[in-house]
Chains A and B, each alone.
Chain A
Amino acid sequence: MLPPCRSKKDVRTMDDRKIQIFLDSLLPLFKAGVAFTIPLALVSFALGLVLAIITALARLSSWRIPKLIARFYVWVIRGTPLLVQLFIIFYGLPAAGIVLDPFIAAVIGFTLSVGAYSSEIVRAAILSIHKGQWEAAFSVGMSRGQALRRVILPQAARVSVPPLSNSFISLVKDTSLAASITYVEIFRKAQQITATTYEPLLLYCEAALFYLLFCSVLSALQNVLEKRLDRYSAS
């Protein structure tokens, strides 16, 4: 006997079911984004930026030991996969008696990553400022620290907005790796919903849409920031 032909009505109910799942998932995914993905990205980026500036200054300093430590740190972090680093922190450290909350473990992992990659951006930006600016600052009596804080870093910040925005957008997407250490952000939420609805294509596409939405907002913010900082540059 042939299987019964699916009626038009059956197809309709299948579509309805998918639409219903899609709509029902919007709010949980959005909440996961706002309450978990974005805080993780923001905290990691803020801490990572501080670490990046310290690392860049250490590499530019004339002191040997800080310089070596900074180079070693950048070498290790850039040369190993972020996912492996997260596993070491979250699943590996408990063996050494250090048990971390998923959020804390993720923040540590992403901060170290942002700090290493962005330190190169900050270093390049500082080096791109003309040496006449240092000399002008020195000529009015500023120390190195004062010159850096008042004259060099504000100008370096302007130069580094586009590449740092890139880093931040990458970071927002990389936070999906935190799903693998049980941190329930957008992607992990999508996995959970998939487990009960068996709609992987739908849910993962929906999760992707949320990343696209968040990253688009960030790109727009980058433009605003660049325009604001542009008032003093000739170009």
Chain B
Amino acid sequence: MIEIRDLHKSFGPLQVLKGVDLTVEHGQVMVIIGPSGSGKTTLLRCFNLLETPDKGSLALNNIKLDFTPGGKIPQRTVLSLRQQTGMVFQSYNLFPHMTALGNVMEGQVTVQKRSREEARTKALALLDKVGLGDKADTYPHQLSGGQQQRVAIARAMAVEPEVLLFDEPTSALDPELVGEVLKVIKQLAREGMTMVIVTHEMKFAADVADRIILMDNGVILEQGTPQQVLEQTKNPRALQFLNRLSGED
């Protein structure tokens, strides 16, 4: 469903992605792990063109993009790609001037041109699904971090994307609030939602992933099932990273 080939991205002199290839199948949950600065967030942001790659190609269903340095992607293509993806950010990024309900309705009304009534019904159903049906009329600043992130998941789901992208969805949360967010993501995984998740939560990764990608220094070091990557890898740098993590536990 998503195919990425030879993806390169630099910020100035800093090469962040140095040729990444990967494929995400429909209904698959792919988890990207790796040390800080390994390029995993940049890779994720290339999926919906929040970053424009310098080189390589990206295909999502019928949209196929080839990147060249300094090349421009037509705005219409960018928008249609973004309408097929949803993103959940580390710092939630809810719209602070709208209620929880307003946040979940916004994309439906402004982008998809649904009627307010239809958008409202769908938004309420989604808020129910993430366990916040009773918070519909609450503004983001009145919600806890975990609740805000669940609203953000509902907002991303509302435009019915083909794939949901998660950028370290629990990194900004207090430890006791991590569980409620992971529970919602697991629920979506069980329902067959296609997802790409950047995370530091190893136990969660092992639990939810169909496929794990371990990145380091702008390249994919190791990829496969959780078992293959987390338990059977022979790559010394991968082992080093995994050992350091287990040392922290």
Contacts and interface: CB of A to CB of B under 8 A. Distances in A.
Interface residues of A, number: 22
B141 interface: yes
A158 interface: yes
A54 to B, nearest CB: 21
Interface size bracket, B side? 20 to 34
Chain A's interface: helix, strand, loop or mixed, by majority?
helix
Given A140-B111, A151-B95, A234 B141 contact: yes
B94 interface: yes
Given A139-B82, A232-B141, A133 B95 contact: yes
A143 B106 contact: no
A233 to B, nearest CB: 7
Contacts of A143: 75, 79
Contact of A141 (B83, B98, B141): B83
Interface stretch (B85-93, B176-184, B188-196): B85-93
Contact of A139 (B48, B91, B96, B140): B48
13 contacts: A135-B50, A136-B95, A138-B48, A139-B87, A140-B155, A141-B79, A141-B111, A143-B79, A146-B111, A150-B106, A155-B97, A233-B96, A234-B141
Interface of B: 48, 50, 75, 79, 82-83, 85-87, 89, 91, 93-98, 106-107, 110-112, 139-141, 155-156, 158-159
Interface of A: 130, 132-133, 135-143, 146, 150-151, 154-155, 158, 231-234
Contacts of B79: 141, 143
A234 B156 CA distance: 24
Candidate in B89, B96, B111 with the most chain A CB atoms within 10 angstroms:
B96
Nearest to A130: B93
Given A133-B95, A138-B82, A232-B96, 16 more contacts: A132-B89, A133-B93, A135-B87, A135-B93, A136-B155, A138-B50, A139-B156, A140-B82, A140-B111, A141-B82, A143-B79, A150-B110, A154-B97, A158-B97, A232-B98, A232-B140
Given A146-B110, A234-B141, A132 B96 contact: no
A150 B107 CA distance: 10
Contact of B86 (A130, A137, A140, A150): A140
